[in-house]
């Protein structure tokens, strides 16, 4: 009985490996058909190569935005504090006008 279970286990493992090899080889074939070298925008380059080329260009062109956004955020935080102060003064002015009209 134990020998039979061992043989069935080995057969199941071999079947699993065979199925994995079959489907992974099909996946690799499909990926190779859409992949390729990012030569540029020529007839020889693939779609995946064009996408990779474009993503690298975007990364290069937008690489300087990180530090600038941090500076912008600091400036906007200071502006927000100033606007809160103005809001407080306007609220006090409105209250004074309402009290003055009530007298």
- Residue-wise pLDDT tens digits, 43-89: 555 677 777 788 999 999 998 888 899 899 999 999 999 999 999 99
Closest CA to 91 of 103, 83, 101: 83
Residue 18 or residue 70, greater confidence: 18
pLDDT score at 101 = 85
> Could you tell me if 29 and 19 are in contact, meaning their C-beta atoms sit under 8 angstroms apart?
no
pLDDT score at 42 = 54
DSSP for 20-47? HHHHHHHHHHHHHHH------SSTTS-H
Closest CA to 55 of 45, 63, 44: 63
- The overall average pLDDT reported for the chain is 85
User: Which burial class, exposed, middle or buried, applies to 2 when counting CB atoms under 10 A from its CB (0-12, 13-18, 19+)?
Assistant: exposed
Q: How far apart are CA 45 and CA 34, in angstroms?
A: 10
| 36 pLDDT more than 90 | no
DSSP conformational letter for 14: H
Q: How far apart are CA 91 and CA 99, in angstroms?
A: 12
pLDDT score at 50 = 76
| 26 pLDDT more than 60 | yes
């Amino acid at each position: 009985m134990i020998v039979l279970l061992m043989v069935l286990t080995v057969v199941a493992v071999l079947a699993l490996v065979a199925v994995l090899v079959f489907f992974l080889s099909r996946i690799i074939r499909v990926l190779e058909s859409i992949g390729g070298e990012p030569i540029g925008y020529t007839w020889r380059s693939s779609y995946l190569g064009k996408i990779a080329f474009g993503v690298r260009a975007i990364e290069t062109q937008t690489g300087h935005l990180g530090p600038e956004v941090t500076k912008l955020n600091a400036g906007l935080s200071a502006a927000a504090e100033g606007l809160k102060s103005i809001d407080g003064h306007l609220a006090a002015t409105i209250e004074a006008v309402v009290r003055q009209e009530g007298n």
